[in-house]
Every structure is written in C-alpha cells, then in structure tokens.
Structure 1
C-alpha cells in the first residue's frame, strides 16, 4: 500500500501534474441525461476553474484552475471552499494504485453532483478513464437494476443512500451484484449493522468507509478488519496527531497533500491551521495500532450534569437500532442540568426500544431526555440532517 503520496501523484496521461481536472478519452457517460452530468463534463473539458453550488449547477470560470464547492452546511449556512485540482488528483492516483481501478471500470453515484462526495467520484472516474453514471433522482429499486444490468464495478455513496439501495435491491428481488467490486462510503458514519448488511448483499464488493470533510478530503479509511467503532487508519499520505496522550480524547489535527486552500466565502471557528496541520474541530482518540475513534465535533459538544456529551455518539447508538432509518440529536438548554438531549428518530422503532438501547450503551447523562418520532427527518441537499432546522424546532 502507498504510504508516501509523493510516489502517487495525480498524473495526466503524459505523466505530468495537471493544472486542472482532465477527462480521459476512454471515459464515457452512461447516463448522459442525468441532471447536471453532461454540463459538468463540458465544464471540465473547457478548463479553467470549476464552481458548484447547491443553488446552481456546474459553472466554469476563466483564470487559474481551482475548484470551488460548498460544504454540507449541516450545522449552519454552507461555506464555499477553495481547493487546487491537484489536491484531488493525488488521491485519484491512490485509488488507481491501491485498488487497481482504471479505464476498465464503470462508476456510479447516487447523489446530487453538487455534493462533494458525488463530485469527487465523477471527477475521479473522468480522470481514470472509467465510464460514469449518475443515478440521482432514480428510485432505489431502479438504481439497483441499473447497477446490475449496466455492470457497474465502482459505487460511491453515503450511508443513507446505501441503506435505501439495500431496500431497493430487496424490493427488486436482486440477490447478486457480481460485477460490483468496490463500494466507497463517505459523508457520514457507517454503523456496523449496515456494514454487515452491505457485505452480505454485495458479497463480491470490497466495502471501504472513509472519514473526511470538505476541507480535508480523505483522513482515514476502514476495511473489514477495522475494530468496531473506529473509522479506520490514516489514508495513504495522511499524518494525524491528537493533542492528548494515546487512548485519550483530544482534538484531531491532519497534515496531507489533500487539504483545501481556504474558504472563498464564509468561515468556521473550528477550522484552524498550525503550519502544515489543519483542524476542523473533530475530537477523538487513536489506539496503539493507529485506529482512529471519533467522539464528535467540538462545536456540537455540550455539558449535561457537568459531563461532556457528544450528540454524534448518541446518534451512532440509535442508528444501529432495528427499524431506525435516520436520526439526529440536538441539545436543549436546561437550567438545572446545563442541557438535555433531544433525539429525532425516523423509522418504526418504539421509544422503549430506543431508550433501552441508549441505556445499555451510554452513560446515564447521555441518554436522551425525549425521543421524537418523525415521518421524515429534514435533510440538507447533501443528504445530511438539517441540524439548524431541528434546533429551531427544539427551541420552539
């Protein structure tokens, strides 16, 4: 496996680093009518900077090649990040070398191309010469049929999208996906129950979940041997340091060639630089073998009865309860305890089951005060829970 990214640069066909994103002549569009896909390809082919937003499709700008795209905005207004194409091209080369992916492969994405995970996958497919398909807007059953009938070999998706795809494949009676050999999951935590279901249904595929952010790109990568609760070890070329002793929780700092240049608009108080190191405010710890375990974002951490509580840890427990299809936890101010945790849950799990699962896995102060059922959790365009909307509901 590559450990030095200097030996795995994102090269063009002539062996030089591209100043902008490129499209291999071998890459074809399998879904030319998919929303925004042809426009994205045309914008990349023309060169210059590429700008995507949740409000509009791909736009090309003259000048030095840069990529401008928005963060998910899960805890506030989306911010526009600015990165150099080579920061993604370098990881395209890692994908080619580590996983053997190239022009013989066929990519599929399930989300809107304005989401950074989907955009990354499409640009990687273009770069490596793979054929690409965007299945956004299709019903999960139709997506499952397309993946089988079109011999898709590489799939990029979020946990929510994969959960829906599982249901679609079951509804379609599709038990085997023999051509699918790689599933890359990002954009949210992949719980163990879902991972087990995916490995059973897509038994020919190597399932890899990665942890990262719009600002950092890849940070860690997991595999079947990753311990439960961990997001894996550092992605090739990534260095991690935690401002706490081994095994204790601290702020996570990242150094890699995949980092963004800065915000083109907006700002984040959690995002800080210290020389080559970048922090986005994530808290966690590493074990002696280098596996990273996340606690949650520093900005989401609250105190309950003088104890620190990370909503993400509660969400991780709830996501594994049978019947839960989506969930989010937000705090409510409380004069006596500091905060009380409120859990919004989509799915058929009864409150008694949810509460019992939390009591079994969490300390008493982290067990939600209330469990509020929702027919549908409010989502952002990136597919993540709209925490700001839920916080307003709690406040009201």
Structure 2
C-alpha cells in the first residue's frame, strides 16, 4: 500500500541499469529509521531504492557508510551535497517536496506513459536521483547509464528510444562531443541543471538531439527548482520563476529592491534543514529562504545572477564575483572546465587566478586573458592562467573549489 505524499514505483514503470532490465524488488517492511543505500554498485543501489518506495521510509543514497548519528523521519529523505567550497552537507527534505514538482513537470512538459527518461550520473547526484524518482513515480521507464563511456550511453539512449534526458552541462558536453554523431531522433526533451550551459555545448546537444526542446533550470540542493530557461530566455539570464516559486530581491537591510541584491525564494519545494553540516549562506526569514545568491530581476521577470555572496572578493576596494569571469572563460569552445580563485595580494587585497582543465594552449590562453581584460577590466581580470589535469570536480560535475584552492596554494 502506498503512503500519501511518499515516493512510489508506478505499476507501469520499468527500470534499466546500463541497459539491463531491473526486476521489480519486493517492497521492504516500513521502517522508522534512516535506511542507507550504498551507491557503489548501480544495480544494487537501484534495487535497494526500489524496495523502499511506497511506504515513506526515510533513505539516503551515499557511496560508503553514513555517519551513525544521521537521522530522518518517515516521509523524508536525505541527499548529500559535496560542497564546492567546503565540508559536505546532508540535505533533509520531505518526499512531498519533490513530488510537488513531479506533477508540475508532468503537466508542463506533457510527460506520459509513452515517454522514457534517462540519467547519465550516479544516484548520489541529486539530479540523477530526482529524475529516476520522478520517472518511477509518474510511470515512465527509467534508464540509469552511469559509468558507461559516452559512445555506449548514446547507443543505449538510441536503442531504448529514450525521449527525456536529465543531465548536467558537463555530462552533455561529453555526450555530444565528436564529429558526425548519429542523432538521437527519439529525444524530445533535454533538462539541464547543475551549472551554466555554454553556447558550444548547447549547439552540440541540439545537433545530437535535433527534435528535442532544451530547458535549463536553476536551483540548489536546498531550494530545488527556482527558475526555468528556454529558447526565449535572454543570454546570460537563468530564466523566469519555476511554477509556484516566488522570487524576491532584497538589499543589505532586508528591504525589497529593484536593483541587484540577495535572492530570496518561497516555494513548496524547499528543504527542511541540514541533517549534517551547515552553511553561512543559507538563511531563513519566515517561509522565505536564501542560499546567498546575488542577482536582479528585470521588468519582465527574468532573473540575472551575479554570484554567491560567499565567493565575493575585494580587489582594490571593488567587490568582484569570480563567477562572472568564469562565464567569460567558459564561453571558449575548447574549455571544458574552469574556475577563478582569489589569492592574497599585498597591494590590492586579492588578485584572481584562473585555472583551466587540460594542457596549456598559448594562442587560446592569450585570447582568454584578452577577452577577460576587455570585458571585466585589467584591474580585476586574471593576469595569468594555470592548468591542471585531471581537473577536480564534485559528483555533481561542478568544480571542486576547495581542492583547487589547496592545489593552488601548494603550487604558487
């Protein structure tokens, strides 16, 4: 029997792991304790997850053992956030908070029994977990393709006729890389989250999936969906508010502002709190939540982000957000990953260093530095580039800023 407001596995949905069909597991007896799911084996993890759906048992998908003091009540679940700038966090939320957006997506995108959905990452990444749970809950076949080479992922998507793909920008970049790729003609919807989708990857994805509508969404582990962007969204904006989300911009005094300020949201999709760790960026004001993003809303409702408050640095008495410079660098088609980090400077307070994945390319690197100076000014732009291979990333595909900062400090 399925509990109200809890995830369930719809009778008509089937699950596949690496192309192998998953036998529907017997439902485990309801439990009042947190159930840990080890994600190191994808097939075993999907089986364990499927056995818990329907009765509201609290769970957390993790690689390896969980801290013994982690707790969650029935009807809740935990996701783990790697923390790009610091220690990991366990996000506690209700299962109903994700189910609410399942229903929104079903209506907005016309999800139906003819559709099937796929993810390219492991269940430890909340984007993959969300898509798998949404598909099973709504009655869509679900394909988990984590760990496969890009060519095998494309073949699996094509052979299964998958129509909906959830992916990060990095996953799309790898999937669509290469000349003369055979199109995924059955794909009708690509939903991209977890970072900025650069123009080159967008173009490559559209060539690979010529019949698909591509949407980017912005949010965080704490907020879930905040905005949704499509082909009508101006370049540089993260889109308009996702259905049932209210966005406010507040100044430093907490007053509503029409200028650039802190982004606050209200929605039915917000988390309940941290079961492990904390964040100085995350603050509640009644039912409104901020995760420290700075941005502005234009007169037509589009949200434009400047960066995270915690990443802002001061250079010669000027507040600078490294994310803006990262966007300039990421626009170069052969830059797969990059990050801009501050280092102390005796005269200016800080200076910025750009770190790029892979080997140096003198012509490209000179063009990047020139583009940064022209767009952002010589005072705050990186004066040089550093290169690292492999480039450290989190399970979400985002740069591991903490690891990069340690590497930079050791190598400077």
Pairwise same-fold verdict (TM > 0.5): yes
| Alignment match, 1:185 | 192
Distance 2:63 2:375 in 1: 37
| Alignment match, 2:169 | 159
Q: 1:363 to 1:62 in 2, by over 3 A?
A: closer
Q: Name the SS of the counterpart of 2:16 in structure 1.
A: coil
Q: Name the SS of the counterpart of 2:310 in structure 1.
A: coil
CA deviation after TM superposition for structure 1 residue 47, in Å: 4.0
Matches within 5 A, 1:242-281: 242-244=249-251, 248-281=259-292
Distance 1:210 1:64 in 2: 29
| Alignment match, 1:385 | 399
Number of corresponding residues = 378
CA deviation after TM superposition for structure 1 residue 130, in Å: 0.4
| Alignment gaps of 5+ in structure 1 | 1-11
Q: Tell me whether 1:216 sits opposite 2:227 in the alignment.
A: no
Q: Tell me whether 1:114 sits opposite 2:124 in the alignment.
A: yes
Distance 2:332 2:259 in 1: 27
Q: Tell me whether 1:96 sits opposite 2:103 in the alignment.
A: no
Distance 1:156 1:253 in 2: 26
Distance 1:185 1:140 in 2: 17
Matches within 5 A, 1:1-396: 18-31=4-17, 32=21, 34-35=42-43, 36-45=45-54, 47-56=56-65, 64-167=74-177, 170=178, 173-244=180-251, 248-347=259-358, 349=361, 350-396=364-410
Q: Is the 8 A contact 1:50 1:65 kept in 2?
A: no
1:231-276 Cα shifts (integer Å, max 9, x gaps): 0000000000001476632100000000000011111111000011
| Alignment gaps of 5+ in structure 2 | 23-41
Q: Is the 8 A contact 1:107 1:131 kept in 2?
A: yes
| Alignment match, 2:37 | none
CA RMSD after TM alignment: 2.2
Q: Is the 8 A contact 2:313 2:321 kept in 1?
A: yes
CA deviation after TM superposition for structure 1 residue 191, in Å: 2.1
Distance 1:344 1:67 in 2: 36
Q: 1:63 to 1:279 in 2, by over 3 A?
A: closer
CA deviation after TM superposition for structure 1 residue 119, in Å: 0.5
TM-score normalised by structure 1 residue count: 0.90
Distance 1:241 1:62 in 2: 30
CA deviation after TM superposition for structure 1 residue 42, in Å: 1.9
